Amino acid sequence: MSKKDSSNTVIYTKKINISKGWYKFSRNLLSVLGLTTLIIIILAAVFAPYITPYPKHAGPYTNFRESSQPPSLKHPFGTDTIGRDVFSRVIFGYRFSLLLAVVVISLSVPPGILLGLIAGYTRKRWLEIGIMRVTDVFLAVPPLVLALAITAMLSPKLLNQMMAISLMWWPWYCRLVYSVTSSLRHEYFVHDAELTGAPKGFILTRVILPNCVGPVLTKITLDMGFVIILGASLSFIGLGVQPPRPGLGTMVADGAKRLPAEWWMTIFPALAIVLVILSFNLIGDGLHDMFAVEEI
Amino acid sequence: MPEEILRVEGLMKYFFTKLGTVRAVDNVSFSIRRGETFGLVGESGSGKTTVAHTLVGIYNPTGGKTFFKDQSLGDDFTHRSKTLKKEIRIVFQDPGSSLNPRWSIKQIIELPLRVHSILPNKDRMEKISDLLRMVELPPEEYLYKYPQTIGGGEKQMVAIARALATDPSFVALDEPTSALDVSIQAKIIKLLMRLQQGLDLTYLFITHDLSLMRNMASRVAIMYLGKISEVAPTREFFQQPLHPYTRMLLSSIPVISDQEEGLKPKQIRSRGEIPSPVNIPPGCSFHLRCPLRMEICTRIDPVMTEQEKGHWVRCHLFPEPEKQP
Amino acid sequence: MRTETPLLAIKDLHVQFKIFEGVLKVLNGINLTIYEGEKVGLVGETGCGKTTTIKSVLRVLPSPPAKITGGEIFYRGRDVLKMRPREIPGLRRGEISAIFQDPLTSLNPVFTVGHQLGDIIKHSLRQQGTEGVSKKEIQSCAAALLKETGMPDPERILKSYPVQLSGGMRQRVCISEALRITVKLLLADEPTTNLDVTIQDQILRRLDELVEKRRTSILLITHSLGVVRNLTHRVYIMYAGNIVETAGTRDLFDDPLHPYTKGLLKTVPKLTGEGLSEGIQGRIPNYLDPPSGCRFHPRCDSAMEICIQETPPFFSPGNNHEVACWLFRR
Give per-residue pLDDT as tens, C143-198. 888 888 877 788 888 888 888 888 888 888 888 888 776 788 899 988 888 788 88
Give the model's confidence band at A86: pLDDT under 50 very low, under 70 low, under 90 confident, else very high.
confident
CB atoms closer than 10 angstroms to residue C4 = 7
Helix spans in B165-264 (H): 182-199, 210-216, 234-239, 244-252, 258-263
If you average pLDDT over residues A185-189, what whole number do you get? 92
Q: Is residue B66 part of a domain?
A: yes
48-107 of B, contacting C, C-beta below 8 A: none
- Closest chain B residue to C222 measured between Cα atoms? B181
Cβ proximity of B53 and B232 under 8 Å? no
CB < 8 Å to A210, chain B: 100, 102-103
- φ/ψ (deg, to 5) at B15: -110, 125
Q: Give the gap in angstroms from C-alpha B76 to the nearest C-alpha of chain A.
A: 13
What whole-number distance in Å separates Cα of residue A85 and Cα of residue A101?
A: 25
Res. B282: pLDDT tops 90:
no
Cβ proximity of A175 and A196 under 8 Å? no
SS3 call for C204? helix
Strands (E), A215-261: none
CA dihedral B206, B209, B213, B215 (to 10 degrees): -140
CB-nearest to A13 from B99, B101, B144 is: B144
Cβ proximity of C158 and C117 under 8 Å? yes
- Residue A134's nearest CA partner among A150, A151, A118 is A118
Q: Give the gap in angstroms from C-alpha C43 to the nearest C-alpha of chain A.
A: 21
Whether the full predicted model's pTM is greater than 0.90, yes or no, is no
Domain with B116 in it: what CATH number? 3.40.50.300
Give the model's confidence band at C88: pLDDT under 50 very low, under 70 low, under 90 confident, else very high.
confident
Residues ≥6 apart with Cβ < 8 Å to A47: none
Q: Give the gap in angstroms from C-alpha B236 to the nearest C-alpha of chain A.
A: 35
Write the single-letter amino acid at C292.
S
What whole-number distance in Å separates Cα of residue C200 and Cα of residue C181?
A: 24
Helix spans in chain C (H): 50-58, 88-90, 103-106, 113-128, 135-148, 154-158, 167-178, 197-214, 225-231, 249-254, 259-267, 305-309
Cβ contact, residue pair B182, C45, below 8 Å: yes
pLDDT of residue C144: 85
| C interface test, pick of B142, B205, B256 with most C CB neighbours within 10 Å | B256
Cβ proximity of B67 and B124 under 8 Å? no
CB < 8 Å to C286, chain B: none
pLDDT of residue A20: 73
Give per-residue pLDDT as tens, A12-35. 666 777 777 777 777 778 888 989
Tell me if chain A has a CB within 8 Å of the CB of C20: yes
Vertex C276: Cα angle to B32 and B256 (nearest 5) = 115
CB-nearest to A13 from B102, B112, B145 is: B145
| A interface test, pick of B15, B93, B99, B102 with most A CB neighbours within 10 Å | B102
CB < 8 Å to C207, chain B: none
Vertex A217: Cα angle to A212 and A223 (nearest 5) = 125
Tell me if chain C has a CB within 8 Å of the CB of B183: yes
Mean pLDDT of chain C: 86
Q: Is C167 left (phi over 0), alpha (psi -120 to 50) or beta?
A: alpha
- Closest chain A residue to C46 measured between Cα atoms? A296
Res. B9: pLDDT tops 60:
yes
279-318 of B, contacting C, C-beta below 8 A: none
Contacts across the B-C interface (CB distance below 8 Å): 126
If you average pLDDT over residues A124-141, what whole number do you get? 91
Cβ proximity of B151 and B187 under 8 Å? no
Give per-residue pLDDT as tens, C245-277. 999 999 999 999 999 999 999 888 888 888 788
Cβ proximity of B314 and B302 under 8 Å? yes
Cβ proximity of B66 and C219 under 8 Å? no
Residues ≥6 apart with Cβ < 8 Å to C71: C10, C11, C12, C13, C14, C29, C30, C81
Give per-residue pLDDT as tens, C284-313. 888 888 888 899 999 888 888 888 988 899
CB < 8 Å to A23, chain C: 20
pLDDT of residue A130: 95
- Asked which of A12-16, A42-46, A91-95, C4-8 is least confident by mean pLDDT, the reply is A12-16
Q: Is residue B323 part of a domain?
A: no
Considering the domain C8-284+298-305, what is its CATH architecture?
3-Layer(aba) Sandwich (3.40)
- Residue B97's nearest CA partner among C284, A199, A185, C194 is A185
Res. A295: pLDDT tops 60:
no
CB < 8 Å to A191, chain B: 53, 58, 92
CA dihedral A42, A43, A47, A49 (to 10 degrees): -60
CB < 8 Å to C20, chain A: 20, 23-24
Give the model's confidence band at A7: pLDDT under 50 very low, under 70 low, under 90 confident, else very high.
low
Cβ proximity of B210 and B43 under 8 Å? no
- Asked which of A181-190, A244-253, B194-203 is least confident by mean pLDDT, the reply is A244-253
CB atoms closer than 10 angstroms to residue C325 = 25
Res. A1: pLDDT tops 50:
no
Q: Give the gap in angstroms from C-alpha C281 to the nearest C-alpha of chain B.
A: 9
CA distances from C233 to C34, C244, C320, C323 (A): 10, 18, 12, 17
- Residue C314's nearest CA partner among C241, C245, C253, C235 is C245
Residues ≥6 apart with Cβ < 8 Å to C254: none
- Total domains in the fold of chain B: 1
Q: Compute the radius of gyration of chain B from its Cα atoms.
A: 21
CB < 8 Å to C274, chain B: 215
- All domains in chain A, ordered by first residue: 43-291 (1.10.3720.10)
- Would you kindly state where each structural domain of chain C is located, as residue ranges? 8-284+298-305
Give the model's confidence band at A4: pLDDT under 50 very low, under 70 low, under 90 confident, else very high.
low
Q: Give the gap in angstroms from C-alpha B256 to the nearest C-alpha of chain C.
A: 5
What whole-number distance in Å separates Cα of residue B297 and Cα of residue B193?
A: 40
Strands lying side by side in the sheet with C66-75: C22-34, C8-19, C66-75, C78-79
Q: Is residue B325 part of a domain?
A: no
What whole-number distance in Å separates Cα of residue B13 and Cα of residue A293?
A: 35
Q: Give the gap in angstroms from C-alpha B44 to the nearest C-alpha of chain C.
A: 7
What whole-number distance in Å separates Cα of residue C92 and Cα of residue C98?
A: 9
CB atoms closer than 10 angstroms to residue C63 = 14
Cβ contact, residue pair B141, A198, below 8 Å: no
What whole-number distance in Å separates Cα of residue C190 and Cα of residue A285?
A: 36
pLDDT of residue A11: 67
pLDDT of residue C204: 87
End-to-end CA distance of chain B: 28
Asked if the peptide bond before residue B244 counts as cis, ω within 30 degrees of 0, the response is no
Q: Give the gap in angstroms from C-alpha C270 to the nearest C-alpha of chain B.
A: 5
Q: Is B100 exposed, middle or buried (0-12, 13-18, 19+ CB in 10 A)?
A: buried
Residues of chain C whose C-beta is under 8 A from some C-beta in B?
45-47, 152, 166-169, 196-202, 223-227, 229-230, 253, 263-265, 267-280
